[in-house]
Amino acid sequence: MPSILSRYNELFTHLEHLLNTNPALAVTQAREIDLDTPERPHWLNLRASILVDGGAMTQQQDAIEEGLTLFQELHSLHPTTRVTYNLANALVAAAGHPQGNSSWLDHQERNREYRAQARRCFWKVGQDVDAEPSLRTQTWTNLANQFSNSLRLGEAHDARLTALEVDPENGVAAYRAARDLLWLFDQGGCSDLTRIEAIMLAKIAHRNEDRIVEYAGAQAAKEIAAFAKKLGDPPPRSPHTDPFITWVETERLTLAPAVELVDPTLGKLDWLMLPAVLEREPGAVATPPPLFAMFNMLKSDFILARDLAWRAVDESVWPKTGRFSDTLDFATYGPDTSALIVAHRTALDLLDKVAVTANHYFELGQSSTSVSFGSLWRGAKDKLTGVRPLSTKVETVIRKGAKALYGLVELAEDYAGEEGILRPQKELRNSGTHRFVVLHDLGDPASSRQAPEVEHHHREQFTQDVLRALRVARSAIQMLALAITQHENGLAQREGGLVGELIIPDHDWIRGHEEDE
């Protein structure tokens, strides 16, 4: 009698062939797989995979949902990285894409729970350094697609570059990163380096067609090759001589319209600016609206947090004025350690300030003293469904064209939600603000003498958390600027009559600092 493995492989090969030739028949035959056997988990996996893939190909939502249910059962039995990855893809397939007259926002809201679960599954697999590289690189690519679909473009770019770190030949990640960069470039306001980086990424995709076939299929490889050929070749770039510039570029910590390479000739790393804003106050004095002061301070705080993170690496830049008791557990004390903790807190504090700015500019109606990033965007829970719908004003703004605002809505849920993928960042920020965080450069922090007021962390891991927090803050500021730009473009099209202009000069020029650059 054939072994379970040989029977599985034989049926798998047969159904895979049907997926490529007659996916509807593949779905039909997958439903005939007997699950009432001692080897149920193996057949669950096969049946679920074919139902999800075949259902997506033939637009049979019931087949996708059936496959999703089977993957959920399998995941409860065997939550391996592979099963978690497959469950995430099933959730994405079940969410689908806007169909017919369904608007993008209606679709996002209707499927928000599926998409949130998918992000959690992808995130879990992506963080698993023991997972096989091919699985991790595809996971980061798929998570990036989820970010991109909600206009979380900075986070999408981060995820795709992570996918390329895992597998430098991942042409799918390179292609999609290039496509998003070109979209941002076409919106205006980006530097030429945005397009240059897009070309560089497209060439990576073109050089690795075999990997694209493996990850996305032959048709995708053909389309990506055609895309890359249209862009030409990027000009040569010289390596940076300033280690700080190298670090900022490597860690993707510039405040520009896109996550891009650094051009030292621009003179500034952080040149993301707001668009011209229509004046809303009749008879207002001829000075810029408060929005510009708010945005300037967002950037100032981000730059400070980034600088603290950079300087914290070098103990020699800090004064040696403190004398500390050694706690005999390899903990580090001093201004460099505190700078790292303050950098993390300052970066994440920016999220509430982003919410305050959005509340003011979009006139969302909350008191400035009660705004928080986690709660601004949605109303009270529906008593019947338990769902918190978008607030009426947020929904109106998004429907009028500021789609990037939805990226902030989703980021807030990932940050403040009980199961959000960024919830650990919020909890770490709260510990650093209200209690004590102690960092250790050697040994096991868990072996320290414990107290509820103190959290112990590896310094190296905490440094990575700081960099992640900075990238979250950077992305939030970028989404805010894009949402304001989209809203202003919509206002310009909707508003009639003459519109006056007030030129907002460069701060350094007014202060006479430009000559010092």
Torsion of CA 110, 111, 112, 113, to 10 degrees: 120
d(CA 363, CA 491): 14
Residue ending a domain, choose from 236, 268, 300: 268
Q: Which helix (H) or strand (E) holds 26?
A: helix 23-30
pLDDT at 263: 80
- Residue among 166, 164, 240 at smallest CA distance from 202: 164
- Domain co-membership, 165 together with 120: no
Give a yes or no: residue 261 inside a domain.
Answer: yes
- Domain co-membership, 310 together with 450: yes
State residue 460 phi and psi, 5-degree precision.
-60, -45
- Domain co-membership, 347 together with 482: yes
Give a yes or no: residue 204 inside a domain.
Answer: yes
d(CA 218, CA 175): 14
Give a yes or no: residue 332 inside a domain.
Answer: yes
- Domain co-membership, 375 together with 243: no
CATH of residue 78's domain is: 1.25.40
- Domain co-membership, 469 together with 326: yes
pLDDT at 206: 85
d(CA 154, CA 482): 11
- Residues 455-483: b if buried by 16+ CB within 10 A, e if exposed: bbbbbeebbebbbbbbbbbbbbbbbbbbb
pLDDT at 285: 64
The encoded tokens of residue 57 equal 């190909």
Give a yes or no: residue 417 inside a domain.
Answer: yes
Q: Which helix (H) or strand (E) holds 439?
A: strand 436-440
- Domain co-membership, 3 together with 89: yes
- Domain co-membership, 183 together with 123: no
Give a yes or no: residue 382 inside a domain.
Answer: yes
Angle between helices 209-216 and 171-187 (to 10 degrees): 90
Give a yes or no: residue 170 inside a domain.
Answer: yes
Torsion of CA 474, 476, 480, 483, to 10 degrees: 110
- Domain co-membership, 475 together with 375: yes
455 beta partners? 437
Give the total residue count for the chain: 517
Q: In what order do the strands lie in the sheet with 454-458?
A: 331-332, 436-440, 454-458
- Domain co-membership, 110 together with 178: no
Other C-beta atoms lying within 10 Å of the C-beta of residue 143: 27
Find the largest Cα–Cα distance for the chain: 89
For the whole model, what pTM was predicted? 0.92
- Domain co-membership, 228 together with 303: no
Please list the rounded mean pLDDT of every run of 10 residues in the chain (517 residues).
79 92 95 90 93 95 97 95 97 89 90 97 96 96 97 97 95 93 89 89 87 80 79 81 92 91 81 83 74 96 97 87 92 94 97 98 93 95 87 96 97 96 96 93 92 94 97 98 93 62 62 55
Give a yes or no: residue 143 inside a domain.
Answer: no
What stretches of 78-132 show up as alpha helix (H) in DSSP? 81-95, 104-110, 112-127
Give a yes or no: residue 144 inside a domain.
Answer: no
Other C-beta atoms lying within 10 Å of the C-beta of residue 37: 11
CB 273 within 8 Å of CB 256: no
Instruction: For residue 398, give its domain range.
Output: 273-279+286-517
Which residues 6+ apart lie within 8 Å of 515 measured at CB? none
Contacts 24+ apart (CB under 8 A), 60-68: 60/24, 60/27, 61/94, 61/96, 63/27, 63/31, 64/90, 64/93, 64/94, 64/96, 65/94, 66/31, 67/93, 68/93, 68/94
d(CA 515, CA 517): 6
Total domain count, the chain:
3
- Domain co-membership, 243 together with 171: yes
Residue 400 CB-density burial (10 A; 0-12 exposed, 13-18 middle, 19+ buried): middle
d(CA 210, CA 205): 10
- Domain co-membership, 511 together with 411: yes
pLDDT at 272: 92
pLDDT at 334: 93
Which residues 6+ apart lie within 8 Å of 119 measured at CB? 143, 146, 414, 421
d(CA 89, CA 91): 5
